C-alpha cells in the first residue's frame, strides 16, 4: 500500500460495514462431542474458524479496530505459552519495569482484543455489582470491564494487545500501520493436553468424561479457534515479514536467553547480560508459578476459575505422553501430515 509521501501520513483506514467473510451457524450434525458451548458457536470465514456465539456481535468491531504503529500484538492459540511470552514481551517493551509489572495482572497490562468472545461481560458486570463483592473483586472485575474495544482504543502510551484469534480475523489495520506482531506456536500434542488440563482451571471440568472426546473434537476442527493447523499456517506464512516474529514455545524452553534477545532485537531494545540474567530468572517456571500477576490467581478471586496450579502447570515439553496413547498418536500424526501438506511448517518434536 502506498503512503502519501507529501504528508507522510498513513492511507485512510478502510472501515468495513460488514465482515468480508461469512459467519455461519452450525448445522445439527456439526456439534462437538464436548458440550462446552451448547449451540452457541459459529464458523467464521472460508477456513471455518470455530468461534463462540459472541463473535457475531464482536467480530466486526475487532476486525475494524484502529491499530497504531507502535502497538505490539501477541497472537497464538491458547495454551501455546502465550502468558510466558506475553510477560517477556511486556517487560522488554517497557524497559524492564518490574515495579510497574507488579502492580497489575498481566491480562490487564496485555489485554485480549477478543476478551469478551470468551468471557461473559454480563457475568463480570454482575460480579462487580454484587452486594457481596469485596473491594478486591470490584477492582478486578472493574479492570475486566475496562478491556472493551473502546477501552483499548482509549489506552494511552504503547499498547500491548493479545489475542487467540487467527491472523485472518485480526484487524488488517495492524499490518497496514506497521505494528509489531509476534506469534507463538507450540507442538500441537502438548498444546492439546495442556488445554485439556486447563478445563479444570476454567470451571469446565464437567464438560467432559475424558480426553478422547476433546481429542476427537480437535481432529474434527470442532474446538475453539480451530482449525489449529490453519491458525499456525497463517502466521508461518508471514514469518519473514519485517514486522512479524514467529516463535516456538519449545525454542524458548531450550534457550530462554535466545528468545529474550530475539524479542529485544525485534522491539529495538538493548539488553545487557545482567538484565538478561535477571529476566531469565524472573521467567523461570517456579517463580512464574508463584507470581500472582501472571499465574491468573486474580480469576479465582472473582470466581471465574479455580485450582490455579492448572494454569501454570507443567512447564516443559512432552506433556502429551500423559494422555495420548499409541493409537491416538498414530491418528494424530496422520491428521497432522494431511493438514501440513503443501507447507514447510513442521513442529518441534517433544
Is residue 225 at the binding interface for ligand A3P, with CB under 6 A as the rule?
no
Q: Count residues binding ligand A3P (CB under 6 A).
A: 18
- In DSSP terms, 182 is beta-bridged to 74, 245
Task: Establish whether 164 is a catalytic residue.
Answer: yes
User: Among the candidate windows 16-24, 29-37, 73-81, 223-231, which touches ligand A3P by CB under 6 A?
Assistant: 73-81
**Residue in 52, 194, 223, 259 binding ligand A3P, rule: CB under 6 A:** 194
Is residue 52 at the binding interface for ligand A3P, with CB under 6 A as the rule?
no
**Residue in 63, 71, 72, 83 binding ligand A3P, rule: CB under 6 A:** 83
Q: Which three cell numbers stand for residue 37?
A: 458451548
Q: Return the number of the residue (16 or 98) whose C-beta is nearest ligand A3P.
A: 98
Q: Return the number of the residue (57 or 329) whose C-beta is nearest ligand A3P.
A: 329
Query: Residue 246: left (phi > 0), alpha (psi -120 to 50), or beta?
Result: beta
Whole-Å CA distances, 342 to 228, 233, 332: 16, 11, 18
**Residue in 59, 81, 93, 111 binding ligand A3P, rule: CB under 6 A:** 81
Q: Return the number of the residue (133 or 299) whose C-beta is nearest ligand A3P.
A: 299
Is residue 117 at the binding interface for ligand A3P, with CB under 6 A as the rule?
no
Cα(337)–Cα(324) distance, rounded to whole angstroms?
A: 17
* Catalytic residue (choose from 85, 112, 119, 164): 164
Is residue 79 at the binding interface for ligand A3P, with CB under 6 A as the rule?
yes
Is residue 278 at the binding interface for ligand A3P, with CB under 6 A as the rule?
no
The answer to whether residues 307 and 339 touch, using CB atoms and an 8 Å cutoff, is no
Q: How far is the CB of 285 from ligand A3P (least distance, A)?
A: 4
Q: Return the number of the residue (36 or 133) whose C-beta is nearest ligand A3P.
A: 36
Burial of 341 (0-12, 13-18, 19+ CB in 10 A): exposed
Q: How far is the CB of 321 from ligand A3P (least distance, A)?
A: 11
Q: Which three cell numbers stand for residue 212?
A: 478422547
Rounded to a whole number of angstroms, the CA Rg of the chain reads: 20
Cα(195)–Cα(57) distance, rounded to whole angstroms?
A: 26
The answer to whether residues 235 and 241 touch, using CB atoms and an 8 Å cutoff, is no
Is residue 296 at the binding interface for ligand A3P, with CB under 6 A as the rule?
no
Is residue 162 at the binding interface for ligand A3P, with CB under 6 A as the rule?
no
Burial of 176 (0-12, 13-18, 19+ CB in 10 A): middle
Burial of 318 (0-12, 13-18, 19+ CB in 10 A): middle
Is residue 84 at the binding interface for ligand A3P, with CB under 6 A as the rule?
yes
Is residue 111 at the binding interface for ligand A3P, with CB under 6 A as the rule?
no
What does the DSSP 8-state code read for residue 114? T
Name the residues that contact ligand A3P, by CB under 6 A: 78-84, 190, 194, 197, 283, 285, 288, 312-315, 319
Q: Which residues are catalytic?
A: 164
Amino acid at each position: 500500500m502506498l503512503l502519501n509521501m507529501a504528508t507522510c501520513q498513513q492511507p485512510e483506514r478502510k472501515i468495513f460495514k460488514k465482515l468480508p467473510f461469512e459467519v455461519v451457524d452450525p448445522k445439527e450434525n456439526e456439534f462437538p462431542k464436548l458440550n462446552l458451548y451448547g449451540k452457541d458457536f459459529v464458523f467464521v470465514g472460508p477456513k471455518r474458524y470455530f468461534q463462540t456465539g459472541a463473535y457475531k456481535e464482536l467480530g466486526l468491531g475487532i476486525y475494524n479496530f484502529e491499530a497504531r504503529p507502535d502497538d505490539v500484538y501477541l497472537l497464538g492459540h491458547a495454551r501455546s505459552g502465550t502468558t510466558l511470552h506475553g510477560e517477556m514481551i511486556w517487560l522488554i517493551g517497557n524497559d524492564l519495569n518490574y515495579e510497574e509489572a507488579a502492580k497489575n495482572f498481566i491480562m490487564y497490562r496485555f489485554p485480549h482484543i477478543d476478551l469478551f468472545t470468551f468471557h461473559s461481560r454480563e457475568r463480570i458486570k454482575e460480579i462487580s455489582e454484587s452486594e457481596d463483592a469485596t473491594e478486591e473483586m470490584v477492582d478486578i472485575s472493574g479492570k475486566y470491564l475496562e478491556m472493551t474495544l473502546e477501552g483499548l482504543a482509549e489506552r494511552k502510551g504503547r499498547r500491548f494487545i493479545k489475542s487467540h484469534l487467527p491472523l485472518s480475523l485480526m484487524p488488517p489495520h495492524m499490518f497496514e500501520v506497521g505494528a509489531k506482531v509476534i506469534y507463538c506456536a507450540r507442538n500441537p500434542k502438548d498444546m492439546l493436553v495442556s488445554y485439556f488440563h486447563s478445563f479444570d482451571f476454567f470451571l469446565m471440568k464437567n464438560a467432559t468424561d475424558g480426553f478422547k472426546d476433546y481429542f476427537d473434537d480437535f481432529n474434527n476442527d470442532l474446538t475453539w479457534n480451530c482449525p489449529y493447523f490453519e491458525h499456525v499456517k497463517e502466521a508461518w506464512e508471514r514469518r519473514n515479514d519485517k514486522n512479524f516474529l514467529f516463535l516456538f514455545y519449545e525454542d524458548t524452553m531450550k534457550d530462554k536467553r535466545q528468545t529474550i534477545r530475539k524479542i529485544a532485537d525485534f522491539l529495538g531494545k538493548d539488553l545487557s547480560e545482567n538484565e538478561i540474567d535477571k529476566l531469565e530468572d524472573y521467567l523461570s517456571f517456579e517463580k512464574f508459578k508463584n507470581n500472582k500477576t501472571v499465574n491468573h490467581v486474580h480469576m479465582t478471586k472473582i470466581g471465574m476459575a479455580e485450582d490455579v496450579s492448572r494454569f501454570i502447570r507443567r512447564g516443559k515439553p512432552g506433556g502429551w505422553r500423559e494422555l495420548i496413547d499409541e493409537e491416538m498418536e498414530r491418528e494424530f500424526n496422520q491428521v497432522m501430515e494431511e493438514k501440513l501438506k503443501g507447507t514447510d511448517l513442521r513442529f518441534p518434536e517433544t
